[in-house]
Amino acid sequence: MSERFDGQVVLVTGGGEGIGRAAAVAFARLGALVVVAGRHPETLEGTVKLIRDAGGRADSVTADVSDTTAGAGAAHVVAETVRRHGALNVAFNNTTELGPHQSVADIDETVWAETLTANLTGVWLSMKHEIAHMETAGGGVIVNTASNIGAQGMLPGLGAYAASTAAVSALTRTAAREYVGQSIRINAISPCPLGRGAGVEEIADTVVWLASDAAAYIVGHDLVLDRKTSE
């Protein structure tokens, strides 16, 4: 089984920094044409430059994937990726926001709604349009970013974040069962968002492996990345 992505088009949302950037660079190193998407064109172009300077192929699409306006958001990202490059083989949905550190009863309604929109609705909309394309194309692979806070409830004060990322995990497992028969393989990762788990390059390597043929037997799994390091 191969971990190469030669001839494949890989979309990375939240690809301008952190885990998204590391994953984009890793996919490109293994032969993929990588499209990074996000709200900030300057950080996206930074990722594109890193990849191109290393001899890889990359492109960017500026958009907020949680935007529900017709023809915008995730719909625009997927449509532009396919229009420019003719395919979408792998998608890594990596848009997460922690939000403020507040106890559950102190969370403002606006903060709650914004956190769920960023972390859950954005992933759902991305999957919605990615799956629609992959169904017609004969298959594909999707990896979503959840969180081990959502999976384990390990840190008080991030209730909205924990709820939204736990929902991403549940959404991932449901979608995996719904679309595995159409050769669309869907999984999630749950890293620690506060730097106490694996580093971004290690997380990126895990994403690449999950998306590769080497992990073809893994479907509907949320892989918790919780290696402990010293404070």
179 flagged as catalytic? no
Distance CA 35, CA 206 (A): 19
Distances (CA, A) of 226 to 21, 22, 223: 20, 18, 9
Which of 5, 27, 161, 179 is flagged as catalytic? Answer: 161
**Residues β-bridged to residue 224:** 190
Q: Are 204 and 191 in contact (CB under 8 A)?
A: no
Distance CA 18, CA 26 (A): 12
For residue 93, give every residue at least 6 positions away whose Cβ sits within 8 Å of its Cβ, in sequence order, or none: 13, 14, 65, 122, 123, 126, 127, 130, 142, 143, 144, 145
Burial label, 155 (beta-carbon count in 10 A; 0-12, 13-18, 19+): middle
Active-site residue list = 161
